Amino acid sequence: MPAELTFAAPRRAKPPRHLADLSPDERRAVVTELGEKPFRAKQLAQHYFGHLESDTAKMTDLPAEARERLGSALLPPLLTPVRHITCDDGMTRKTLWRAFDGVLFESVLMRYPDRVTLCVSSQAGCGMNCPFCATGQNGLTRNLSTGEIVDQVVAVARDLARGEVAGGPGRISNIVFMGMGEPLANYRRVLDAVRRITDPVPGGLGISQRGVTVSTVGLVPAIDKLIAERLQVRLAVSLHAPDDELRDELVPVNTRWKVAEVLDAAWRYAGTTGRRVSIEYALIRDINDQAWRADLLGELLAGHLVHVNLIPLNPTPGSKWTASRPEDEREFVRRLRAHGVSVTIRDTRGQEIDGACGQLAAAEQ
Ligand code: SAH
């Protein structure tokens, strides 16, 4: 059964239709229905994706009498920033968004010397129920629409372009689907969002596919669907344990698709795309950070096109778990490297603003 059927989201009112939900053909059809010339669709898209402008009142190349009509039909406001929180001297900025129906979700902007990464949400809440993750604790509220995913990028890109973020004017180079939600459980909307993010202007935002990372708990049928899309995006698999016994607990969907099946799918992805798969592994003190688990992980990954990202656990409020001791972390890295596996420790950007795991939205609710 396709993943999006088995993990069906609760039924809720749909977000308003937005330009970013539509392919260029669909945009032309809507514009024509509104009694406008088809080329107006391209003008609107040029403003939205090219100039990051959503306010049709400022689109002076559109006929004055058509601006409001086109705006309400194709560029309705989707997201209201509830607040921005910054840390790392402003180089990390987290935004809490409210959608039309009041649901809350987050994006996190991270500026580095060589790149600018935006971490986006694909769902309000999450149905995967991983016990160490703040988002998982409240379940899934609903899927985000393609427009709601893309508009996180456009709104932040606009702030960056206008110099409203510390560090001066800039552009987003990388997008990671590591905010709230399981992207592959909202497959069609996420895939359309990836196309909008990566298609050249005015089809989309023109960010390189190679700069986009889709992170998943390991929904195997959806990984295979993604392979068939023939994209160049990076796949990240949240493994967190090399053995089924522990992974059943840390990533409950493992009871459906076991470690071996998930890794097989990852190797198919690497084989087809030629891209190194990222394995995400949150290091949790005395839970998954033992030397024998490092060796087992090293054996499973050795010889494959893979890179391991170790993430020091960012403890959620009230959690009985915490990050690994520095010496255990070092030993874990050493053993993976001894197996010839490439590994880095994820920098803990935004920890003081709960950047890693949906805690802000959780606090707000
Ligand atoms: N659902 C997707 C993407 C969202 S989470 C996935 O699971 O991959 C992005 C990454 O953050 C995942 O690897 C997730 O396991 C990890 N994560 C969640 N909560 C965390 C925490 N408290 N500390 C460290 N990493 C966490």
Nearest to 241 by CA among 155, 300, 194, 321: 300
Alpha carbon of 215 to ligand 1 centroid (Å): 9
Alpha carbon distances (Å) from 152 to 176, 260, 325: 12, 35, 36
pTM for the model stands at 0.95
Alpha carbon of 66 to ligand 1 centroid (Å): 44
Residue nearest to atom 7 of ligand 1 (CA): 217
Q: How far apart are the first and last CA of the chain?
A: 33
AA letter at 163: G
Q: 7 vs 302, which has greater pLDDT?
A: 302
Examine the pLDDT at 7 and tell me if it is beyond 80.
Answer: no
Nearest atom, ligand 1, residue 177 CA: 3
Alpha carbon of 69 to ligand 1 centroid (Å): 41
Nearest atom, ligand 1, residue 217 CA: 7
pLDDT digits (tens, 9 = 90+) for 283-334: 999 999 999 999 999 999 999 999 999 999 988 888 899 999 999 999 999 9
Residue nearest to atom 4 of ligand 1 (CA): 178
Q: Exactly one of 106, 119, 148, 280 is catalytic; name it.
A: 106
Tell me which residues have their CB closer than 6 angstroms to ligand 1.
Answer: 128, 130, 132-133, 178, 182, 215-217, 238, 280, 282, 311, 313-314, 316, 356-357
Alpha carbon of 235 to ligand 1 centroid (Å): 14
Q: Active-site residue 106, yes or no?
A: yes
Residue nearest to atom 24 of ligand 1 (CA): 313
Quote the CA–CA distance of 226 and 187 in Å, as a whole number: 9
Quick one: pLDDT band at residue 359, thresholds 50, 70, 90? low
Helix ranges (H only) for 34-86 are 39-45, 64-74
Ligand 1, residues 121, 143, 250, 311: which to mutate, most atoms within 8 A of Cβ?
311
pLDDT digits (tens, 9 = 90+) for 127-149: 999 999 988 888 999 999 999 99
Q: 362 vs 231, which has greater pLDDT?
A: 231
Q: Which residues of 152-187 are buried (b: 16+ CB within 10 A; e: fewer)?
A: bbbbbbebbeeeebeeeebebebbbbbbbbbbbbbb
> Per DSSP, which regions of the chain are E strands?
80-87, 92-98, 104-111, 116-119, 123-125, 140-143, 174-177, 212-216, 234-238, 277-283, 306-312, 342-345
Residue nearest to atom 3 of ligand 1 (CA): 178
Alpha carbon of 354 to ligand 1 centroid (Å): 12
Pairing of strands 277-283, 140-143: unpaired
The angle that helices 64-74 and 24-33 make with each other, rounded to 10 degrees, is: 130
Contact between 236 and 278 (Cβ < 8 Å): yes
129 is an annotated ligand-binding site residue? no
72 is an annotated ligand-binding site residue? no
119 is an annotated ligand-binding site residue? no
Contact between 120 and 152 (Cβ < 8 Å): yes
87 is an annotated ligand-binding site residue? no
Q: Active-site residue 357, yes or no?
A: yes
pLDDT digits (tens, 9 = 90+) for 18-63: 999 999 999 999 999 999 999 999 999 999 999 999 999 999 999 9
When the pLDDT of each residue in the chain is averaged and rounded to a whole number, the result is 93
Contact between 110 and 127 (Cβ < 8 Å): no
Contact between 218 and 237 (Cβ < 8 Å): yes
Quote the CA–CA distance of 227 and 265 in Å, as a whole number: 9
Examine the pLDDT at 222 and tell me if it is beyond 90.
Answer: yes
Would you state the pLDDT for residue 354?
A: 59
Would you state the pLDDT for residue 90?
A: 85
Helix H or strand E encompassing 363: helix 359-364
Contact between 276 and 296 (Cβ < 8 Å): no
pLDDT digits (tens, 9 = 90+) for 257-282: 999 999 999 999 999 999 999 999 99
pLDDT digits (tens, 9 = 90+) for 157-213: 999 999 999 999 999 999 999 999 999 999 999 999 999 999 999 999 999 999 999
